[in-house]
Amino acid sequence: MSYRRTYRYEEQNRGLMQRLSSQIRNPIVLTSIGVVAFVAFTLDTSKILKLFKTEEDIRYNGRLPNSLLTVNYPYTLMRDVVQEQPVDPTDVPFFWHPHQRDARIVKKILTTCYGMEIIQLNTLDAIKKAKEVDLAARPPGKFVITSPYLREIAELFSPKHLGRAGCLLRHPLDYDVFPTLPKYELKDNWLARFLLNDGSAVLNFRELGVVKQIIRKVCVAAPMDKLEGTITRYADYMGWKLEGSEDCVEEAVEEEAVDAKVLAHDSEEWLTFYAKNRYDCQLYEYAQQVWRAQIQTINPLEVQLKRNEPSKKEED
């Protein structure tokens, strides 16, 4: 039985080979093979392969690759300002200022006192063009990106060029937002809605917690009433050297300062305002807490490098 079965299989294989041989000698098949060979040798096959390759999902890049925490994209393309020290030479400095008056103050301080080149991306169209030229990959140097957009600017960065953000925050009573920024149908808690990119939802403490995490993780917090100390802190953090006078930052802040609006907390006007914007008020108070905590955690670059030396020795 086994001999007959083997003989039958051999006959079947021989028949299959004969049919394949006759098909290969077919002029149509030969022509097709020739065309494929010609295309393979004359064209860039990498372009053909790209047609069958799906684009990589950039949400799984950044400082938390392939993590469930990619729900925080695009903020994962910005450094954790405390945990990820020392500052890397490829990190891109960025100041977020959603208010018109603050843009003028920051520009004056950074150019006059630290000799920095300011790259202002104040519109979505400007950000789009910056993405097209891969602005974040520009060789490291004395430049700073400034913008009223935080989420959109975060998408400029990449795993090779992560962002280092300083975030200027005003009390909600003093909001003077850029006219290009979104206006929401629900006219309450503008800042929380802006950072969440959600102008329609009913906000709760869960959403407040998400926004607090953004401020704590990726921002060198800069409440406007502490601007002088914050700019100096950020400059030391990045390793920038003061090029102006010792009083340069203080003088610039005094020249551009605007009196903040103040309401008695037992007044009817304040109680009405707070009831409508309590999450934004709490965010501002939280930014003040982060600022105080960062007295200990945002270190000058020379301290960051010194603290990193033991780990380098251990690696050697």
Domain range enclosing 122: 69-304
What's residue 96's pLDDT? Answer: 95
Looking at the structure, tell me whether residues 18 and 88 fall in a common domain: no
The token duo for 52 is 């069958």
Q: What is the CATH number of the domain that holds 78?
A: 3.40.50
The token duo for 102 is 């603050």
State how far the Cα of 73 lies from the Cα of 62, in Å rounded to an integer.
9
What's residue 85's pLDDT? Answer: 93
Residue 273 lies in a domain: yes
Parts of the chain with a pLDDT under 70: 1-71, 258, 310-316
Looking at the structure, tell me whether residues 73 and 39 fall in a common domain: no
Residue 63 lies in a domain: no
Residue 37 lies in a domain: yes
Full-model pTM: 0.76
Given a contact cutoff of 8 angstroms between Cβ atoms, the answer to whether 139 and 158 are in contact is no
Residue 187 lies in a domain: yes
What's residue 2's pLDDT? Answer: 47
State how far the Cα of 90 lies from the Cα of 79, in Å rounded to an integer.
11
Looking at the structure, tell me whether residues 27 and 135 fall in a common domain: no
pLDDT in tens, 135-146: 999 988 889 999
pLDDT in tens, 185-224: 888 999 999 988 877 778 888 888 888 999 999 999 999 8
Residue 109 lies in a domain: yes
State how far the Cα of 3 lies from the Cα of 283, in Å rounded to an integer.
85
Looking at the structure, tell me whether residues 43 and 161 fall in a common domain: no
Longest dimension (CA), the chain: 104
The token duo for 310 is 């033991």
Looking at the structure, tell me whether residues 36 and 81 fall in a common domain: no
Residue 59 lies in a domain: no
Torsion of CA 191, 192, 196, 200, to 10 degrees: -100
Looking at the structure, tell me whether residues 37 and 75 fall in a common domain: no
Looking at the structure, tell me whether residues 39 and 79 fall in a common domain: no
What's residue 238's pLDDT? Answer: 96
Domain count, the chain: 2
Q: For residue 163, what are the β-bridge partners?
A: 78, 92
State how far the Cα of 6 lies from the Cα of 12, in Å rounded to an integer.
10
